[in-house]
Amino acid sequence: MEYRTLGDTDLQLSAITYGAFAIGGNMWGGNETKDSIAAVHASLDNGVTTIDTAPFYGFGLSEELIGAAIKSKDRGKIQLLTKFGLVWDGSNQGKGEYFFDASENGRAIPVYKLTSKANIIKELEESLKRLGTDYIDLLQLHWPDATTPVDETMEALNTLISQGKIRAAGVSNYDLPLMKTAAKTTRLASNQVSYSMLNRGIEKDMVPYAIENNIGIIAYSPLERGLLTGKYFRDAALKADDHRNGYFGQFSADKVKAFLDSITPLAESKNASLSQLVLRWTTLQPGITIVLAGARNAAQATQNAQTMNLQLKADEVGFISRELEKVYAE
């Protein structure tokens, strides 16, 4: 495993980080508790020291599962990354910005974005309890909230750092103007953004800004929620309540399949899976600090963690990138 410094903090994070969205179950067709905990343990056993989660994942379940999984582990050797700012239980009392309706057991649950100082403090205490810890290594705003001034949110994060409840502050899904606004109030350690072979928009402005200002970039959905593993072009099927039934529709299936077919021989020559090759390419892109990889069981988690054993030469990275350009060609 390779460990990388996040921005100008003293946090050393594993280049492959365990992404805990799917084990929450909601929007992913459910979960199995035993398998989820085994996935976290397998990650830790294979050098992954960093776990990224959020209260929204499973409406608290993801954090609870992680708390159970690390209860007997050395907390000082694990970096916990979580978030705040999505409210679903009605406690916002009409405040915040409506986001979307989530689903749980066939029931629609309205979700609001709320990043007020009071809500940050409330959510943090709830996360600490679920995770079974007294501090968070990196606390991240989950989604921008147009109803709360940016400086109010950032000042609250400054306070939590000074209190020792969080070691560093970050954001997620922030665009460049919001990053610059936030920088007037606090020193952000990172921005967690969607980034993959099929989604490279941040390379235009966010990556140069992050590099220039020593801000970490945490890449989520690097496998495009499983599409880039190739298994959905073979025999894998999605459950009816899995959000990916609609999500995959934004991509050209024929182009993606042709691309994966073109790089499969390289993966096979390295005794690696397609997902490992895709993840490794992603970790080697300029400005990308760590890459989130989700896993529902120990086997998937082990495979993700072992990605960093894969060595790619410059010409091999170039070959992948050239083949990838064909996906974007008209």
Q: Which residues are catalytic?
A: 57
Element (H, E) at 290: strand 288-294
Contact 249, 313 (CB under 8 A): no
Q: In what order do the strands lie in the sheet with 97-104?
A: 86-87, 107-113, 97-104
Q: Which residues of 63-102 are buried (b: 16+ CB within 10 A; e: fewer)?
A: bbbbbbbbeeeeeeebbbbbbbbbbbeeebeeebbebeeb
Q: Coil, strand, or helix at residue 167?
A: strand
Q: How far is CA 76 from CA 71, 72, 135, 257, in A?
A: 12, 12, 11, 42
Distance of CA 68 to the CA centre of its chain: 20
Contact 315, 301 (CB under 8 A): no
